[in-house]
Amino acid sequence: MFDLLIKNVRKLNNPHSVDIGIKDGFITQIGSIKSPSKQLIEGEGRLVLLLTLNLIFISIRL
Protein backbone atom coordinates (compact mmCIF):
# COMPACT_ATOMS: atom_id res chain seq x y z
CA MET A 1 0.00 0.00 0.00
CA PHE A 2 1.26 3.45 -0.92
CA ASP A 3 1.06 6.50 1.34
CA LEU A 4 0.24 8.65 -1.69
CA LEU A 5 -0.79 7.76 -5.22
CA ILE A 6 -0.80 10.40 -7.96
CA LYS A 7 -2.88 9.14 -10.88
CA ASN A 8 -2.93 10.20 -14.53
CA VAL A 9 0.02 12.61 -14.84
CA ARG A 10 2.47 13.16 -17.69
CA LYS A 11 6.24 13.08 -17.36
CA LEU A 12 8.23 15.70 -19.25
CA ASN A 13 8.81 14.69 -22.92
CA ASN A 14 6.33 11.80 -22.64
CA PRO A 15 2.76 12.20 -23.91
CA HIS A 16 1.47 9.07 -22.11
CA SER A 17 -0.13 9.30 -18.66
CA VAL A 18 1.44 7.45 -15.73
CA ASP A 19 0.72 6.90 -12.05
CA ILE A 20 3.26 7.64 -9.30
CA GLY A 21 3.32 5.68 -6.04
CA ILE A 22 4.98 7.22 -2.97
CA LYS A 23 5.80 5.42 0.28
CA ASP A 24 7.72 6.79 3.27
CA GLY A 25 8.48 9.99 1.34
CA PHE A 26 10.07 8.29 -1.67
CA ILE A 27 8.83 7.49 -5.14
CA THR A 28 8.68 3.71 -5.22
CA GLN A 29 6.83 3.03 -8.47
CA ILE A 30 6.03 4.81 -11.73
CA GLY A 31 3.68 3.31 -14.31
CA SER A 32 0.18 1.88 -14.31
CA ILE A 33 -0.58 1.27 -10.62
CA LYS A 34 -3.60 -0.62 -9.32
CA SER A 35 -2.46 -0.90 -5.67
CA PRO A 36 -4.41 0.89 -2.92
CA SER A 37 -3.16 4.03 -1.22
CA LYS A 38 -3.91 6.07 1.90
CA GLN A 39 -4.29 9.25 -0.14
CA LEU A 40 -5.10 9.74 -3.83
CA ILE A 41 -4.46 12.76 -6.04
CA GLU A 42 -6.04 12.81 -9.50
CA GLY A 43 -3.53 14.56 -11.77
CA GLU A 44 -6.00 15.01 -14.65
CA GLY A 45 -3.22 14.77 -17.27
CA ARG A 46 -1.13 17.55 -15.75
CA LEU A 47 2.65 17.69 -16.14
CA VAL A 48 4.84 16.33 -13.35
CA LEU A 49 8.58 16.94 -12.96
CA LEU A 50 10.69 14.35 -11.15
CA LEU A 51 13.91 15.75 -9.69
CA THR A 52 16.48 13.72 -7.70
CA LEU A 53 14.79 11.30 -5.26
CA ASN A 54 11.99 13.67 -4.37
CA LEU A 55 8.86 14.65 -6.21
CA ILE A 56 8.08 18.16 -7.31
CA PHE A 57 4.51 18.33 -8.57
CA ILE A 58 3.92 21.09 -11.09
CA SER A 59 0.28 21.71 -11.91
CA ILE A 60 0.34 23.10 -15.43
CA ARG A 61 -2.50 22.92 -17.92
CA LEU A 62 -1.19 22.66 -21.50
pLDDT at 57: 56
Residue 54 has pLDDT above 90, yes or no: no
C-alpha to C-alpha distances, 18 to 33, 61, nearest whole angstrom:
8, 16
Q: Where do the structural domains in the chain lie, given as residue ranges?
A: 2-56
pLDDT in tens, 12-28: 788 899 999 999 988 88
How far apart CA 26 and CA 60 sit, in angstroms, is: 22
The reported pTM is 0.79
The CATH number assigned to the domain with range 2-56 reads: 2.30.40.10
